[in-house]
Structure 1
Amino acid sequence: MSLFSSPLSRGVRSSLLAAVLALAAPLASFAQTPPPAAPKRELTEKVHQAAQVLQKLIDEQKWDELIAQTTTILATVEPASFDTAYLSQLKVQGLLGKADYKGAIAPLETALSLSERYNFFGDKDLELIWLLSQLYGQIASAAEPNSAVQRENYAKAYTTLRRWLDRTPKPNPDAQYFAASILYNQALYDNKVDKAILQQAQVEAEKGLRMSIKPKEQFYALLMAISQQLGDFPKTAEYLELLVKEYPKNKSYWQNLLNAYLVQDTKGYVSAINTLERAQKLGLLNEKRDNFTLVGLHLNAQEYAIAADLFEAGLRNGTLESEQKNWELLATCYQQTRKDAKAIATLKEAIKLFPKAATLDLQVGNLYYMGDKYEDALVYMKSAVTKGLDKPQQLQALSYIAYLGLELKKLDDAKWAADKAIELDPNSKGAKDLQAAVNTAIEERNAQLKATTVTR
């Protein structure tokens, strides 16, 4: 993500125009003495006469005419002269007025270079350096992501801004934020993360943070993003806790805070639950997926009773999706709290909602089997097989049916299941052994019946 604002706002552009315009005013004497060979710091007669016309164009905001006339005059004056520096910064003003930021760079570089070489504008050079860094940053942010143009201009923006920071007597938080944001964007290039540059950005941002008693929101947001990219999620969470405290209605901050705790796995479960609950009290993060996340966190924390209550309420009031997996999870919660009867009732309710889902019948059958309720288990196992299961589950269910048929002396059910298992997997030793056991039981039954008939 780009942290450089784009495009320049009207207010920022106006202040930049004012700064450039101030340089066009009559120049007072400077404390520094220019080198002996330096051009004079005064306009030639020709440019002096044109200045009044140019000023009028500025007042009337006739930017096209201003650009055209300054370009024409520039072609007639000495390149290394005060005329060139003066006209170049006027041309910059016209180009900024048209929001031609790229076009404004070359004449601004010319004006600044001449001024720094010959001390034309004195301390006003700082304003030009600041403006130039802003323009480089603007071009970079508007360039194609991960392009050479973007990378080059971010580098120029930071180098230029560094000059300003090193020379200015009054550093300020905005400049520090600008420096940190440029470095942040430089660090994220071509889907790679340069941690060394990110750490440099962190230093610049923290320096700006300390410049204000009450730092701006953007500093915490930037430091949060930097920590996130560095993989320092506890630090990310710290900054986000400050942000949600100051801006409790900002949903994205709550979501990012939740994510910062979620990626910490078991260490972050309690904090993640707490974050979701705090956000939901404010009416945020209360969509169905958020509600499911909350239940899932309680499940992962093995708080099955709480998870069951949340599932039960959510499935009935519509704040959770009424999906088969959710009903199964609710049943699992009841199993974990040793409430098998409620687990069975939950699965039976799910069967009504999803009548073709054979796995639900299989789960009910398993629960009845584990509770030694073999008659009921047999009913649901047969139902599951009839509805159709995948091969491993089908074999499992058929094995149960065969066993239950033997146990309950329902040998017809047992034979049907054993024969079905052989059809499904002719090479299965388990199925063959089961079939043999069933056949033996049937032979014994038939022999007993025959003996009883003869006796009579």
Structure 2
Amino acid sequence: MSVPFHSRRFLRLGGLIVTLTVLTPFVSSAQDAPKKEISDKVSEELGGKLREYTEAKQYEPALALVNNLLTTVKPESYDRTVLNQIKVQILLTQEKYAEAIAPMETALRLGKAYDFIEKRQYLEFSQILSQLYFQEATSTKDTKLRDEYLGKAYSTIKEYLANNDKPTVESMSYAATMIYTQATIDPNNTNKKLLNEAKELAQEGLTLSIKPRETFYVLILAALQQEEKNQEAAELLELLVTLNPTSKQYWQQLQATYLNLANNAKDSDAALEWNVRTIVTIERAQKLGILTGPRDHFNLVGIMMNIRQFDQAIELLEKGLAEGNIESTKQNWEYLASSYQQVHKELKAIDVLKQTAARFPDAGDLEFKIANIYYSLDKMSDAYSHGKSALEKGGVENVPAVQMFIAYMGYELKKYEEALPFAEAAKNAGTANADRLHEAIKNAITERQEALEATI
């Protein structure tokens, strides 16, 4: 299961707020450390031209002004910290996410080194920087660069979480999503450690609000599916269809999960239990108007056949084919005929196959199926007739086998002259025992001819 990531939505979560007014000067206690105060020149520009540009939403001139000011201030200064914060905000407003990374890194480095940024704001900026890294990681096709950005996104958000006693729902949702993406970025090599970490964060996120965000459930579900913990995934999906009963996606996943459990069950009792749960899931969904497509209806039939509930399979097939809820394909009609055979209603099976043959007049294999059922009922003449129809229509996979069948039926019905060419064709094709049948037919013809001559 894939977990969608919308980077722009995440980037707006914290709402990067950088005040453009002059901040209250603060003198650092360390004598050799740069002072936490804005120079007069920068203060004047921030309160004048920059304010005019930003209020008029003239971001390019505003960015040019900030860049020009950056060339005039000291490398390690409060001016540079504030200007880089403002630059980040302008770039994010313009959706220039890649360009915002470098100034954000500078602002955070200086803010941490000289205590220029309060802890709350520092953590907020750290989360946004992680999101910027993640944005670039999910945008590049260069796997080496992708992994580098993912590593930076991970270490940055881990620092955020380690130093934040009260992370927000949004930050936990982002962190869990980012780490899950990193864990599963290589489809052939899932990072189980990161996967478990993402799952734990999502589980923690569920506790942050009275009504947990659905994203957390989806992340936990995706992790469980990656780990192939299908039973736990089914339990979570049961919760999700209860919380969101109109979600077709959850019902489909629940059905598929139960079916997977049935197919991988270690014993027949367990397989039956999971198959029954699959059936009940489909029926529950259909009462809500979900899982009502032809494939869904046929899935129900298929499960009934697998657990040998052929009477119910017949009822569903007949109803579905009649009402158009199950596709009127040759194979589906054959399934109906086969189900009748399973409950020993061979004549009904023949009737269905004859109807199907009328719908698919070029399908000689249907005639051969009819011939075989007649043979099982000891109706040799009908078996012989439909065997010949199979060859006349064509479309049979094993022509020599049909020829052998016709030859044998002809032999049993004493139609030796008619049967002989079929036996010879089967013999020439190398069909097993065809040579013996061919010889028996020839001998029968000879014996009958000799008997006829003896009466004259």
* TM-score (normalizing by structure 2): 0.91
What SS does the corresponding residue of 1:421 show, helix, strand or coil?
helix
Q: Which residue of 1 aligns with 2:379?
A: 373
How far the C-alpha of 1:34 sits from its partner, in A, is: 4.0
Return the alpha-carbon distance in structure 2 between the equivalents of residues 64 and 13 of structure 1: 21
* Correspondence 1:4 to 2:5: yes
**Contact residue 364 and residue 396 of structure 2 kept, 8 A:** no
Deviations 1:92-144 (A, max 9, x none): 12112211111111111111111111111223322222222222222223333
Gaps of 5+ in 2: 264-270
What SS does the corresponding residue of 2:433 show, helix, strand or coil?
helix
Q: CA 1:41 to 1:256, structure 2 compared with 1: closer, same or farther past 3 Å?
A: same
Q: Which residue of 2 aligns with 1:347?
A: 353
Deviations 1:164-191 (A, max 9, x none): 1111231233222211111111112343
In the TM superposition, what are the counterparts of 1:14-413 in structure 2 within 5 Å?
16-17=15-16, 19-21=17-19, 26-27=23-24, 34-53=29-48, 54-123=50-119, 124-144=121-141, 147-192=143-188, 193-266=190-263, 267=271, 268-388=274-394, 390=396, 393-413=398-418
Return the alpha-carbon distance in structure 1 between the equivalents of residues 9 and 206 of structure 2: 23
**Contact residue 6 and residue 142 of structure 1 kept, 8 A:** no
How far the C-alpha of 1:15 sits from its partner, in A, is: 5.4
Q: Which residue of 1 aligns with 2:452?
A: 449
Q: CA 1:444 to 1:244, structure 2 compared with 1: closer, same or farther past 3 Å?
A: same
Q: CA 1:118 to 1:338, structure 2 compared with 1: closer, same or farther past 3 Å?
A: same
| CA RMSD of superposed structures (Å) | 2.2
Return the alpha-carbon distance in structure 2 between the equivalents of residues 444 and 78 of structure 1: 119
How far the C-alpha of 1:159 sits from its partner, in A, is: 1.1
Q: CA 1:400 to 1:126, structure 2 compared with 1: closer, same or farther past 3 Å?
A: closer
Q: CA 1:173 to 1:78, structure 2 compared with 1: closer, same or farther past 3 Å?
A: same
Identity among equivalent pairs (%): 38
What SS does the corresponding residue of 2:208 show, helix, strand or coil?
coil
Give the letter aligned to residue 235 of structure 1: E
How far the C-alpha of 1:62 sits from its partner, in A, is: 2.1
Deviations 1:373-425 (A, max 9, x none): 1111111112112233657x333333333332232222223323323323x42
Deviations 1:62-116 (A, max 9, x none): 2112111111011011111111111111111211221111111111111111111
Q: Choose 111-120 or 403-412, whichever is displaced more.
A: 403-412
Q: CA 1:428 to 1:305, structure 2 compared with 1: closer, same or farther past 3 Å?
A: closer
Q: Which residue of 1 aligns with 2:267?
A: none
Q: How many residues align?
A: 443
Q: CA 1:14 to 1:254, structure 2 compared with 1: closer, same or farther past 3 Å?
A: closer
Gaps of 5+ in 1: none
**Contact residue 3 and residue 184 of structure 1 kept, 8 A:** no
Q: Which residue of 2 aligns with 1:438?
A: 441
**Contact residue 102 and residue 139 of structure 1 kept, 8 A:** yes
Return the alpha-carbon distance in structure 1 between the equivalents of residues 336 and 13 of structure 2: 62
Give the letter aligned to residue 169 of structure 1: D
**Contact residue 308 and residue 333 of structure 1 kept, 8 A:** yes
How far the C-alpha of 1:343 sits from its partner, in A, is: 0.3
How far the C-alpha of 1:336 sits from its partner, in A, is: 0.5
Return the alpha-carbon distance in structure 1 between the equivalents of residues 408 and 74 of structure 2: 105
* Correspondence 1:419 to 2:424: yes
Return the alpha-carbon distance in structure 2 between the equivalents of residues 305 and 361 of structure 1: 24
Q: CA 1:406 to 1:111, structure 2 compared with 1: closer, same or farther past 3 Å?
A: closer
Return the alpha-carbon distance in structure 2 between the equivalents of residues 420 and 48 of structure 1: 102
**Contact residue 4 and residue 137 of structure 1 kept, 8 A:** no
How far the C-alpha of 1:221 sits from its partner, in A, is: 0.9
What SS does the corresponding residue of 2:5 show, helix, strand or coil?
coil
What SS does the corresponding residue of 2:138 show, helix, strand or coil?
helix
